[in-house]
Amino acid sequence: MRSAEKTDPLYPPIEPYEHGLLDVGDGARVYWEACGDAHGKPALFVHGGPGWGSLPVRRRCFDPDRYRAVLFDQRGCGRSTPHASDPSTDLRSNTTDHLIADMERLREHLGIERWLLYGGSWGSTLMLAYALRHPARVSEIVITGVTTCRRAEIDWLYRDVGRLLPEQWEAFRAGVPEADRDGDLVAAYARLMEDPDPLVRERAADAGAPGRTRSRPTNPTGRRGLSRVGPSPTGWPSSASARTTSPMAPGCPTVSCCAPHRAWPASPAC
């Protein structure tokens, strides 16, 4: 009996035909690239995280003969500057509103009338927020790994799931000061990740993502920054494993699912 042939579900590797750094204000520049057919159907890949980037493999999600595929690194991560892993980077200008505005500015910069949005996880939250703000600019939405970042989802990820992973939960809980362990753990980790002492931040990152493999990405500042890479062997969700965060704007009914920040709103809509 012949074994079934393995097939690659993705399109062949491809290089961008153009790329750049777009000035989006506040001293930030967003990396973008385009590949495929320059005259094809426009599509934007919106990565997850917050804190990931537009990995080259994502170019292969689009038929290069049909799509003008655009990928970008959200503020503060990937090849965008300044990098959020640098403690001197002010995250007050890295909110959902800022990211939506960046996407719209990129669309205008590329001269695209409407585009398909594709992505998942945190990317699904950002895509939906963008579509609500600019419905006339979205032709279709394709979502994988739906995440809406409602408060109920955050509570499940960082508290209720402890019923299924008690050991990992206790390790996660033990990573914050004792006085904070019965309170808002996400807010407690956010405070630690904003501490001026780099050792405090490093310990919080380690405790927030036990067992997770990390890399030290190169960024324009030359500083080392934590970044989450690959699945966690423990199965525990990433928390403050990186300072590469996209905190929500005040009043927004969603919160950052992977990298908490002190700007977590207290909106009734949550």
Q: Where are the domains positioned within the chain?
A: 18-146
* CATH level 3 topology of 18-146: Rossmann fold (3.40.50)
The residues pairing with 215 across neighbouring beta strands, listed in sequence order, are 227
Average pLDDT, the chain: 78
The 3 state secondary structure assigned to 5-51 is CCCCCCCCCCCCCEEEEEEEECCEEEEEEEEECCCCEEEEEECCCCC
Quote the pTM value: 0.73
Alpha helices (H) along the chain: 96-110, 122-133, 151-158, 166-173, 185-193, 198-208
Q: What digits encode the pLDDT tens for the residues 108-136? A: 999 999 999 999 999 999 999 999 999 99
Q: What digits encode the pLDDT tens for the residues 235-248? A: 323 322 233 333 33
Q: Do residues 173 and 159 lie in contact, with contact meaning Cβ atoms separated by under 8 Å?
A: no
Looking at per-residue confidence, does 250 or 54 come out higher? 54
Answer yes or no: is pLDDT of 68 > 80. Answer: yes
Q: What is the pLDDT of residue 166?
A: 92
